[in-house]
Structure 1
């Protein structure tokens, strides 16, 4: 899978959500294609990017960075300039059914599912956030893809 193509396809689907209020800044490094389940990874991108867009209340930016890491891995960084999260929220964001959205606005499954997909691929998903400053997700994936087992 071409990660950049997957990210761009996801951004196209989010055009309505991004409207004209969110600027997407791309800093794409040179990446090899990776062995993966493309539709599952695109769902991860959709969940993280959609949450980033929803965290930006007025105008803001989403920065997407990609790079190859040592040890045959790649990293996708998605950082927003949204409202950020406190430590208590950060500790729960991957829990099933946890949501900060109002009633009827979210299932609380998106990040839980994303965490499972990244784990299934032999990768990891890391998050850092500061209230009032924004949030950054880092998705690290092996180039060779999921290992059977």
Structure 2
């Protein structure tokens, strides 16, 4: 829990990105387990060799939490709309891939095999207060805050690649060192 929170860390600090993702998955493990209404959600970690990354660990862990919780929500929603035979053939899965690219950046891809995101939603997904969830279930701030953390606090990029019935992939790119946070395309 301490690894996830990192509340006392206000400066850029060199951290292992995988530790933050793993601590987030640990917090979410109860949502990944099988329930009476659905099978367990499989998590595939395809971690590459990453250097330590200078970042704000607490806010970055909140980004992992927002994206992973939304992926779980999408898979749970898809489950309620599928028949049991289809679920056995296509159980819920989240894949997390990490890699270093361009020698100056790391990339984290978080994908799910859920229902995907329609273009009309994808265009607004990072807008403040935009949500597709029912009243009382979502504030519409998670993805907006995540986008701000990645782009403004870390000088990175956060994009979403998705189409209906093809799952969703969130691609996070952040510079390895603080000095690179000033470099933008």
TM norm structure 1: 0.95
1:4 aligns with 2:18: yes
Deviation at 1:72, TM superposition (A): 0.6
Q: Structure 1: how far apart are the matches of 2:21 and 2:156?
A: 17
Q: Aligned partners of 2:105, 2:96: CA distance in 1, in Å? A: 17
CA distance in 2 between counterparts of 1:49 and 1:9 reads 12
Using the TM superposition, give the Cα deviation of residue 22 of structure 1 relative to its aligned residue in structure 2, in angstroms. 0.4
Computing the radius of gyration over CA atoms, which structure comes out larger, 1 or 2? Answer: 2
Cα shift readout 1:68-123 (whole Å, capped 9, x = no counterpart): 00141000000001111111000000000000100100000000000000012010
Q: What is the CA RMSD across the aligned residues, in angstroms?
A: 1.2
1:107 correspondence with 2:139: yes
Q: Out of 107-116 and 49-58, give the one that drifted further.
A: 49-58
Q: What is the Cα deviation at residue 17 of structure 1?
A: 1.4
Matches within 5 A, 1:25-36: 25-36=44-55
Tell me if 1:142 matches 2:175.
Answer: yes
Counterpart residue number, 1:123: 156
Q: Which residues of structure 2 form unaligned runs of 5+?
A: 1-14, 35-39, 80-90
For 2:96, which of 54, 64, 68 is the aligned residue? 64
Q: Do structure 1's residue 93 and structure 2's residue 112 form an aligned pair?
A: no
Q: What TM-score results when the alignment is normalised by the length of structure 2? A: 0.77
2 CA distance for matches of 1:62 and 1:145? 29
Mapping of residues 6-85 of structure 1, within 5 Å: 6-20=20-34, 21-57=40-76, 58=79, 59-85=91-117
Q: 2:87: which partner in 1? A: none
Give the number of the structure whose residues are more often strand, by fraction: 1
Q: Secondary structure at the match of 2:138?
A: coil
Partner SS state of residue 35, structure 1: strand
* Structure 1 spans left out of the alignment, 5+ residues: none
Deviations 1:108-144 (A, max 9, x none): 0000000000012010001111111210000000000
Aligned length: 148
Higher helix share: 2
How far apart are 1:145 and its partner, in Å? 2.9
